[in-house]
Structure 1
Amino acid sequence: MSDDGPAPDGGSPADTATRSDALRARLPATRRETELLLDRLVRENRFTIAVLFPVIGAITLVGSAEGWVPDPLAFNPWFVLFGVLVMRSPLVVGVLPAIDRRAIGWIGVLIAYTYAIELVGVTTGWPYGSFEYTVSLGPMIGGVPAALPVFFIPLVMNAYLLCVLLLGPRASNGWLRLLTVIPAVVAMDVVLDPGAVAIGFWNFGGGAFYGVPLSNYAGWVLSAAVAVVTLDRAFELSGLRERLTNCEFMLDDMVSFVILWGGINLWYGNLVPVAVAVAFGIGLVRTDRFDAGLFNPFR
């Protein structure tokens, strides 16, 4: 049998080979080319990622909690996880050039801590207070969502990066960095937990702060401290700061956080969390992260 017959798509084998070669030529061949490609993809879709996705997410989550969204779409864990991954993409792409073997190792330590402290939490109620997950967030490992690091690590990383930007040259002081980032992380949870309790993601069984016990925030002081110390060892500060300065979308995930959880808390009348979300928005404005490129989808 001859190999010179027509290709399945009607072209000759030579045409097919030429198209395959052209496709391979367009694919990135090095890590740097891959980073530039991902930068371009995020930059060209900033409005969709950082504004449209969290707006749709807030409407969908409130609709699920209020019974407006029918099964199997209501609180569908795969839809939730997909949306979270999309909103996380600017942070991941932004940090990617700073990732090396040391960073991978320390991020692995932080992932292990994330699972360990959450497992202790759901088992004993320490350090966050007794709570249980009341909505499926995907596959579970010992009562802990397998995707937990996707939710936890970006939260602390966003707070860390915002503080590095706001502190400027003073961020080089490790103690000042620690004492600034810890309150920022706790403040992010001041926004997150009341909103998550309101829509029924998890339940503390009651608490003084919009259904959240104050002990939860003491637990977050511990986790924030561990996260800051770990991130300090994972990344070289000057390189991270340079990337932050040159990558305008690196904190777009925090923009999504403000829109998503600020909107959910606003719907349920959680005014203190809304005010804290607005404060984060002001911080992002001060670092020029709310720019025309983000809010102009037709640029």
Structure 2
Amino acid sequence: MAEVSPTFNRQRVERAFDAMVRENRSLFGIVVPTVGVAMLLASTESILPALLSFDSSLILIGVVAMRLPLIAGLLPLIDRKAATALVVLAVYSYGIEYVGITTGVPYGQFSYGVDLGPLLFSKVPLGLPIFFIPIVANCCLLWLLLLDERPDRTFIWSSIIAVIGMDLILDPAAVALGFWSYSGGLYYGVPISNYLGWIVSATVAVVIFNWGFEQTAVLERLHHCEFMLDSLTAFVIFWGTINAYLGHLLPVAITGLFGLGLMKVDRFIPHSIYQFKLKR
């Protein structure tokens, strides 16, 4: 019997993964975040039974489901260098979070209020990279499409600003829901120190991601993989809806800018599905 090469096996898995995500775009990018919003708000309003309210397993399952399009999109691009970059990003996310929660540097003093699963060193959620890395990756991918063949410097600075913008959306809602809390802050209960810290984190993370993933290859994959930014659509729906419910007008406006960016590059799911069907 002829031996099946590892390369062939990997390509077969990648094609199957692509097909599964492509056939379920609306599920991962629209249905899951919508259900997630409903369950979190029901937890906040004490409507859900205590057994389900802010359940860490359900939260992690929902987050992973929303990340599947990004994982499938990046998978064919992961060589040794890209894998190294992802490992470094994961280690960095653990390290900076541990320092932050232990010392208050660089984000400001904060503490977790909701169980986000098993803890590393009894302080940092083990699933942290699945929260942190997609924020960086989605911002880089969106700006690669928006800027296309602009100089690297423009892409890097734009991506850093976008990462900070995503945290301007995420943190106010997360604090209001009780995921974590600060001692106080001017921006919906979030201190300015948090965003000064995110300038550092975003810069380090974007540089690492850009080092690990070759821009030309990523851009080519983006042009042929219509679902690669669907996890960003999920982010827009999820956190945009929660902020709207909470009356956080500025985060909602920033979320709208991300939505406009997705529409401009034909990656907002309803419009994207229609456009790619026309191209076929």
Q: TM-score, normalised by structure 2?
A: 0.93
Identity among equivalent positions (%) equals 47
Q: Counterpart of 1:183?
A: 161
Q: Is the counterpart of residue 40 in structure 1 residue 19 in structure 2?
A: yes
- Give, in whole Å, the separation in 2 of the partners of 1:293 and 1:282: 12
Aligned equivalents of 1:162, 1:293: Cα separation in 2:
16
Task: For 1:179 and 1:291, locate their aligned partners in 2 and report how far apart those are by CA, in whole Å.
Answer: 26
For 1:244-255, list aligned pairs within 5 A.
244-255=222-233
Q: Which amino acid aligns with 2:139?
A: A
Aligned-partner residue type, residue 267 of structure 2: R
Counterpart AA for 2:13: T
Larger radius of gyration: 1
Identify if the C-alpha distance between structure 1 residues 199 and 291 changes in structure 2 by more than 3 Å, giving closer, same or farther: closer
CA distance in 2, matches of 1:295, 1:279: 20
In the alignment, is the contact (CA less than 8 A) between 2:25 and 2:269 conserved in 1? Answer: no
Tell me how far 1:29 sits from its aligned partner: 5.7
Distance 1:247 1:295, change over 3 A: closer
Equivalent of residue 35 in structure 2, options 56, 61, 64: 56
Q: Which residue of 2 is the match for residue 164 of structure 1?
A: 144
How many angstroms does 1:291 deviate by? Answer: 4.6
Change (3 A) 1:242 1:251: same
Equivalent residue number for residue 282 of structure 1: 260
- Residue deviations 1:51-94 (CA, integer Å, cap 9, x gap): 00000101111111121111110010000000000000000000
1:153 is matched with which residue: 130, 133, 137?
133
CA gap 1:59/1:292 in 2 versus in 1, 3 angstroms: closer
Q: Normalising by the residue count of structure 1, what TM-score does the alignment of the two structures yield?
A: 0.87
Distance 1:295 1:202, change over 3 A: farther
Counterpart in 2 of 1:130?
109
| Structure 2 unmatched ranges of 5 or more | 1-6
Distance 2:272 2:38 in 1: 20
**Residue 4 of structure 1: aligned partner:** none
**2:53 is the alignment partner of 1:74:** yes
CA RMSD of aligned residues (A): 1.5
- Secondary structure of the residue aligned to 1:74 is coil
Q: Work out the CA distance in 2 between the residues paired with 1:292 and 1:264.
A: 21
One-letter amino acid matched to 2:144: V
| Equivalent residue, structure 2, for 1:267 | 245
Distance 2:243 2:255 in 1: 9
What is residue 101 of structure 1 aligned with on the other side?
A: 80
SS in 2 for 1:30: helix
Q: Distance in 1 between matches of 2:180 and 2:272?
A: 32
Shift of 1:155: 0.7
- The corresponding residue for 1:86 is 65
Q: Secondary structure of 2:148's match?
A: helix
Question: Corresponding residue for 1:224?
Answer: 202
Q: Secondary structure at the match of 1:169?
A: coil
How far apart are residue 205 of structure 1 and its match? 2.2
Cross-structure match for 1:19: none
